[in-house]
A and B are shown apart, each in its own frame.
Chain A
């Protein structure tokens, strides 16, 4: 456990040193406040609209931003150590490959969690203080759910980045693949699902569709933050398939947690087999 913590501590202090943590927190805070006050500007309104609308807008933003930041933060976790010439040395220490990987996950995970907590936490507090008629209880629960799911989504993409990082031998390749993963889950997956639905001309079992959404952590995240308000009208595109979801909120949380665990376990298995 000490070795895991030593590795985590180095990753965490690196992200403090290179200002990653502060930069992410700042971006989150500014965007969250911007969305809270100007999110409804398109409809001619300026000012805080409502908690569900704000959370829905924040979640839509999170889907693009969180995976990208998580992948950027951690795509070079292992391949970077190898290219930098430190991986070989690290593994001659009393440190297993699993300990190295989990230590890095802990460090990167902590960085992202803290940045999310600070960034959106500041936004939440600002809303609570500055908006007169906001129901603090609803806001607190919604923000808590939003921050927790954001952290889990980020961890899932960190684990996906590790899956790439343990497999490739060059950093630029890892960066390219990380971008590919982002494109796939954030932009392509839903289009593919809709395309399949249209192409099947009704032959596809409609009961299968909500379950297919579980194959994309960003869809689970969106469902968690929007369906929770019981407002299916907020859902658009492929997500309307999940409006009468046969999966409980607990199931959604579990599915999102699996998106952290399975890629991380896969990365561990691949890393154990990697030739040094």
Chain B
């Protein structure tokens, strides 16, 4: 059973079509990265899964039931973007309140606060918390009652690099225990090793979805070979020019290495030619990163889309 499934889902807000025919699913024990610029439809997708809104068209099913049903919500943990809490209450009082609402045991509250690094601050009022501390409290809140589906909207905002790495490690552990996780973000660096699949949204539509290898295939982006010449740059340049019939883009980097962009389909043949030529001292292969793939799908219009969060 999928943890959630969006089938041909569209959502209209006033006259604007915020989501267009989105198909997306998530299986137990999987981390899905949901990426897109502000206003691409990430938060709207999340709100539909949470049952806060109903789709204009299409079907949303969550944990075998309807989005928003109490028996479904019981098993969902959610960390909203820019999470806020009652400033006059302490971290512990807040978690107690939310645990009661979820019907979860209050005994887990101190343990969860320790887990997110708020053990010493649990009895301090939230108005004294830094942004990072609020974010960690939000994460502890999302983990109440050991949810089957965890939805995190921009979870690393306000976290320092160490806390971010801790968060990702925690998410991996939860995934290994069977929790399905949606990681919604427009901050891509660092996230790549921790997600199983990524979905890239632009203007309310899914542009690409899959694991990294599949996204690379879909993007069909050039692979960069970084080559150290064995006998001189000009001899190496000739070999490359002959092999790619002038198609390969060559650049020199500051270390005297030659960088060549080749199509994925031509990669192996090019490497073979280079090795056979005896002109290669050392060879590095740079696959497109998630960030490269994201930029590829978002296109140069990325800046123009940064309207607002929807």
CB within 8 Å of B: which residues of A?
Answer: 2-3, 6-7, 10, 14, 17-18, 84-86, 88-96, 275-276
B141: chain A residues within 8 A (beta carbon): 89
Inter-chain CA distance A156–B141, complex, in Å, is: 35
Q: Which residue of A lies closest to B72 (CB)?
A: A94
A6: chain B residues within 8 A (beta carbon): 97, 100-101
Q: Which residue of B lies closest to A6 (CB)?
A: B100
A2: chain B residues within 8 A (beta carbon): 100, 103
Q: Which residue of B lies closest to A275 (CB)?
A: B53
Known: A2-B103, A6-B97. A94 touches B78 (CB 8 A): no
Point out the residue from A7, A84, A92, A275 that lies within 8 Å of B78, measured CB to CB.
Answer: A92
B73: chain A residues within 8 A (beta carbon): 92-95
Give per-residue flags for B63-105: 1 if the beta carbon is below 8 A from chain A beta carbons, else 0. 0000000110110101010111110100000000110111100
B78: chain A residues within 8 A (beta carbon): 89, 92
**Does B47 make an interface contact (CB < 8 A)?**
yes
Q: A6-B97, A93-B102 are in contact. List 4 more A-B contacts (CB 8 A).
A: A92-B51, A92-B78, A94-B70, A275-B53
A88: chain B residues within 8 A (beta carbon): 52, 80
| Cβ contact within 8 Å between A276 and B47 | yes
Point out the residue from B47, B53, B103 that lies within 8 Å of A94, measured CB to CB.
Answer: B103
| Cβ contact within 8 Å between B101 and A84 | no
B74 to nearest A CB, angstroms? 5
Point out the residue from B51, B70, B88, B100 that lies within 8 Å of A14, measured CB to CB.
Answer: B88
A108 to nearest B CB, angstroms? 16
Give per-residue flags for B100-128: 1 if the beta carbon is below 8 A from chain A beta carbons, else 0. 11110000000000000000000000000
Q: Which residue of A lies closest to B49 (CB)?
A: A92
A72 to nearest B CB, angstroms? 17
Known: A86-B86, A89-B83, A92-B78. A276 touches B53 (CB 8 A): yes
Point out the residue from A10, A86, A94 that lies within 8 Å of B102, measured CB to CB.
Answer: A94
A95: chain B residues within 8 A (beta carbon): 70, 73, 101
Chain B residues touching A, range: 20 to 34
Inter-chain CA distance A88–B47, complex, in Å, is: 9
A87 to nearest B CB, angstroms? 10
Q: Which residue of B lies closest to A96 (CB)?
A: B70
B126 to nearest A CB, angstroms? 11
Point out the residue from B52, B71, B98, B102 that lies within 8 Å of A91, measured CB to CB.
Answer: B52
B250 to nearest A CB, angstroms? 52
Point out the residue from A7, A85, A93, A276 that lies within 8 Å of B84, measured CB to CB.
Answer: A85
Select the residue from A2, A6, A85, A94 with max chain B CB neighbours within 10 A.
A94
Inter-chain CA distance A95–B101, complex, in Å, is: 7
A159 to nearest B CB, angstroms? 23
Q: Which residue of B lies closest to A5 (CB)?
A: B100
**Does B6 make an interface contact (CB < 8 A)?**
no
Q: Which residue of B lies closest to A103 (CB)?
A: B101
| Cβ contact within 8 Å between A93 and B101 | yes
Q: Which residue of B lies closest to A86 (CB)?
A: B84
A5 to nearest B CB, angstroms? 9
Inter-chain CA distance A7–B97, complex, in Å, is: 8
Give per-residue flags for B46-60: 1 if the beta carbon is below 8 A from chain A beta carbons, else 0. 010011110000000
B82: chain A residues within 8 A (beta carbon): 85
B50: chain A residues within 8 A (beta carbon): 92
A92: chain B residues within 8 A (beta carbon): 50-52, 73, 76, 78, 80
Inter-chain CA distance A45–B71, complex, in Å, is: 66
Q: Which residue of A lies closest to B88 (CB)?
A: A17
| Cβ contact within 8 Å between B103 and A84 | no
A84: chain B residues within 8 A (beta carbon): 84, 86
Inter-chain CA distance A240–B86, complex, in Å, is: 48
Point out the residue from A85, A90, A91, A275 that lies within 8 Å of B83, measured CB to CB.
Answer: A85
Known: A14-B88, A18-B88, A85-B83. A90 touches B52 (CB 8 A): no
Q: Which residue of B lies closest to A84 (CB)?
A: B84
Q: Which residue of A lies closest to B47 (CB)?
A: A276
| Cβ contact within 8 Å between A94 and B85 | no
B208 to nearest A CB, angstroms? 28
A275 to nearest B CB, angstroms? 8
Inter-chain CA distance A84–B71, complex, in Å, is: 27
Inter-chain CA distance A89–B102, complex, in Å, is: 12
B97: chain A residues within 8 A (beta carbon): 6, 10
Select the residue from A10, A14, A92, A96 with max chain B CB neighbours within 10 A.
A92
B112-159 with Cβ < 8 A to chain A: 141
A271 to nearest B CB, angstroms? 13
Point out the residue from B47, B80, B83, B98 that lies within 8 Å of A93, measured CB to CB.
Answer: B98
Inter-chain CA distance A93–B74, complex, in Å, is: 7
Inter-chain CA distance A180–B239, complex, in Å, is: 84
